[in-house]
């Protein structure tokens, strides 16, 4: 009996870590259900939304076990971790992982942290690339890439100190927006709108919005609606921040 | 419609953008080229669809999102890894960053007619992407069920 409770808390650890690595709600539900059946449950009831996990395990000749876990922190997408969790669940289903060792394996994967240079280089490439993609000049791209470095630094230092993603987006967009405004006021050959679109790609919850709509269409209505509202609020915070930046630096947001 | 030079610039920068996001999302080193190529390829499909449908954002988004899904499924089989690793980077160039930005900046300037048209374009884009991915998802599910029954 104790064994099953331990196993169940291992499942919760795994589900939580998957969510924090950016896994889709339906993927988490699928994975945990499959693993539970592989470890001998007669039926698995897994309900996951982005902020909460509920698992009930039906054990043959035993009581049903239910545990829940509140997920407070949303994490960024980390595909390396997702691949490792995928591999772990495969090994579990093939019976290669002892139930007692599951929590430890999950902990090891969750503790991996992505290299810092990847985030910086990736942001520089993405902001620079998209500034040119949306019609900016090469110089606009380079300036957007510079501001991407600043955004990375803010994400590293300011995000942990912020109340939530919304307040971070507000602060970040005011700071970066004002600096960009000053920059383009002096260097008039730069295109404010293209530079901003370039680095806004790093901040806008475009992927979150798209996933939200997919969740809703796919039947995970609660997760979808939660995410959609979150994403709209994040975007609104960004818009508000850039509006404030515009009032401070004067002039329109694009020339 | 875009000229050939513009088209090439779009393709290359879409690839660079997809590579950037693959790095941010911590895609494994061996898979980076295929993930970035997905963004490049998917933008090519988008442009072709745009040409084919004579403009608009909704239908090209549907086609490109569906194509991204197929590409990701194919690459996932080759590399034996979850499809989402290739899927998200391929979709990145489709995100309506430009129209979202103009929606918000025209709102700041109080030009509500432009807000409406850019806002609608942003929403159509997001909806198009979601419809494209759901389409492939449902067809694939049914296909799997059918092939499983035959065995």
Nearest CA-CA distance, residue A67 and chain B, Å: 28
Token look-up 């591999």 returns A87
- Are the beta carbons of B24 and A119 separated by less than 8 Å? yes
pLDDT at A252 over 70: no
- This model of the complex carries an ipTM of 0.88
User: How confident is the prediction for chain B on average, in pLDDT?
Assistant: 88
- Are the beta carbons of A86 and B82 separated by less than 8 Å? yes
Provide, as residue numbers in chain B, all residues whose Cβ is less than 8 Å from the Cβ of A134.
97-98
A173-199, pLDDT tens digit by residue? Answer: 999 999 988 888 888 888 888 888 898
Residue B129, chain A, CB below 8 Å: the answer is yes
Residue B140, chain A, CB below 8 Å: the answer is no
Residue A47, chain B, CB below 8 Å: the answer is no
Q: pLDDT class for A81, splitting at 50, 70, 90?
A: very high
Q: Is A218 a domain residue?
A: yes
Does A126 share its domain with A39?
no
Instruction: Count how many domains chain A has.
Output: 2
Q: Is A254 a domain residue?
A: no
CA A17 to chain centre: 12
Q: Is A72 a domain residue?
A: yes
Q: pLDDT class for A251, splitting at 50, 70, 90?
A: low
Does A102 share its domain with A122?
no
Helix-, strand-, coil-residue percentages of chain A, each rounded to 5: 70, 10, 25
Tokens of B142: 């049914």
Q: Is A233 a domain residue?
A: yes
Does A158 share its domain with A93?
no
Residue A200, chain B, CB below 8 Å: the answer is yes
pLDDT for residue A151: 93
Out of A93, A111, A129, a domain closes at A111
Residues 6 or more apart whose Cβ sits within 8 Å of residue B33: none
Does A100 share its domain with A200?
no
Q: pLDDT class for A255, splitting at 50, 70, 90?
A: very low
CA torsion angle A83 B15 A208 A112 (round to 10): 30
Residue B8, chain A, CB below 8 Å: the answer is no
B65 contacts B131 by C-beta, under 8 angstroms = yes
Provide, as residue numbers in chain B, all residues whose Cβ is less than 8 Å from the Cβ of A121.
20, 23
B82-141, pLDDT tens digit by residue? Answer: 888 899 899 999 988 888 888 878 887 788 999 999 999 988 988 898 889 888 888 888
Classify A30 in phi/psi space as left (phi over 0), alpha (psi -120 to 50) or beta. alpha
pLDDT for residue B1: 57
Does A43 share its domain with A56?
yes
Token look-up 């419809």 returns B131
Q: Is A255 a domain residue?
A: no
Does A98 share its domain with A199?
no
- Are the beta carbons of A235 and B104 separated by less than 8 Å? yes
Provide, as residue numbers in chain A, all residues whose Cβ is less than 8 Å from the Cβ of B64.
none
Q: Is A167 a domain residue?
A: yes
Q: Which of B5, B7, B16, B20 to mutate to test the interface with A (most CBs of A within 10 A)?
A: B20
User: How confident is the prediction for chain A on average, in pLDDT?
Assistant: 87
Q: Which of B13, B39, B110, B136 to mutate to test the interface with A (most CBs of A within 10 A)?
A: B13
B77 contacts B47 by C-beta, under 8 angstroms = no
Tokens of A239: 């818009």
Nearest CA-CA distance, residue B56 and chain A, Å: 17
A4-46, pLDDT tens digit by residue? Answer: 888 898 999 999 999 888 888 888 999 999 999 998 889 999 9
Q: Is A127 a domain residue?
A: yes
pLDDT at A1 over 70: no
Out of A85, A111, A137, a domain closes at A111
In chain B, whose CA is at the least distance from the CA of A246? B108
Q: pLDDT class for B151, splitting at 50, 70, 90?
A: low
Q: Which domain holds residue A9?
A: 2-111
Q: Which of B101, B114, B144 to mutate to test the interface with A (most CBs of A within 10 A)?
A: B101
A131-176, pLDDT tens digit by residue? Answer: 999 988 899 999 999 999 999 999 888 888 888 888 999 999 999 9
Out of A60, A84, A111, a domain closes at A111
Does A80 share its domain with A153?
no
Does A104 share its domain with A134?
no
Nearest CA-CA distance, residue B53 and chain A, Å: 21
Q: Which of B39, B43, B91, B105 to mutate to test the interface with A (most CBs of A within 10 A)?
A: B105
Does A221 share its domain with A166?
yes
Q: Which of A80, A204, A238 sits opposite B28 (nearest CB)?
A: A80
Does A193 share its domain with A220?
yes
pLDDT at A207 over 80: no
B1-41, pLDDT tens digit by residue? Answer: 568 888 899 999 999 999 999 999 999 899 999 999 999 99
Does A166 share its domain with A77?
no
Does A178 share its domain with A234?
yes
């Amino acid at each position: 009996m104790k064994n099953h409770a331990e196993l169940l808390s291992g499942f919760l650890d795994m589900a939580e870590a998957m969510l924090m690595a950016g896994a889709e709600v339906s993927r988490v539900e699928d994975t945990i259900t499959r693993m539970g059946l592989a470890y001998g449950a007669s039926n698995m009831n897994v309900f996951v939304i982005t902020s909460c996990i509920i698992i009930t395990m039906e054990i043959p000749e035993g009581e049903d076990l239910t545990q829940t876990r509140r997920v407070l922190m949303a994490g960024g997408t980390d595909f390396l971790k997702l691949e490792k969790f995928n591999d772990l669940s495969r090994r579990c289903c093939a019976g290669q992982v002892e139930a007692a060792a599951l929590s430890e394996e999950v902990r090891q994967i969750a503790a991996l942290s992505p290299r810092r240079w990847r985030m910086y280089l990736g942001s520089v490439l993405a902001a620079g690339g998209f500034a040119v993609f949306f019609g900016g000049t090469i110089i606009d791209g380079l300036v957007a890439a510079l501001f991407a470095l600043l955004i990375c630094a803010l994400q590293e230092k300011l995000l942990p100190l912020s109340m939530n993603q919304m307040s971070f987006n507000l602060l970040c967009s005011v700071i970066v927006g004002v600096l960009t405004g000053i920059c383009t006021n002096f260097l008039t050959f730069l295109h404010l709108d293209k530079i901003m679109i370039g680095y806004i790609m790093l901040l806008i919850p475009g992927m979150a919005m798209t996933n939200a709509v997919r969740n809703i269409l796919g039947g995970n209505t609660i997760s979808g609606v939660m995410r959609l509202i979150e994403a709209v609020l994040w975007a609104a915070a960004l818009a508000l921040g850039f509006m404030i930046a515009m009032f401070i630096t004067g002039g329109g947001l694009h020339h | 419609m875009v000229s050939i030079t513009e088209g090439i610039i779009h393709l290359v920068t879409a690839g660079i953008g997809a590579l950037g996001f693959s790095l941010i999302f911590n895609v494994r080193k061996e898979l980076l080229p295929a993930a970035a190529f997905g963004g490049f390829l998917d933008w090519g499909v988008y442009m072709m669809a745009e040409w084919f449908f004579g403009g608009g954002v909704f239908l090209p988004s549907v086609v490109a999102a569906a194509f991204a899904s197929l590409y990701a499924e194919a690459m996932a089989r080759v590399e034996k890894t979850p499809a989402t690793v290739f899927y998200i980077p391929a979709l990145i160039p489709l995100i309506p960053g430009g129209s979202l930005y103009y929606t918000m900046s025209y709102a700041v300037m109080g030009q509500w007619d432009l807000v409406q048209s850019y806002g609608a374009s942003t929403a159509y884009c997001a909806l198009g992407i979601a419809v494209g991915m759901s389409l492939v998802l449902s067809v694939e599910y049914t296909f799997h069920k059918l092939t499983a029954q035959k065995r």
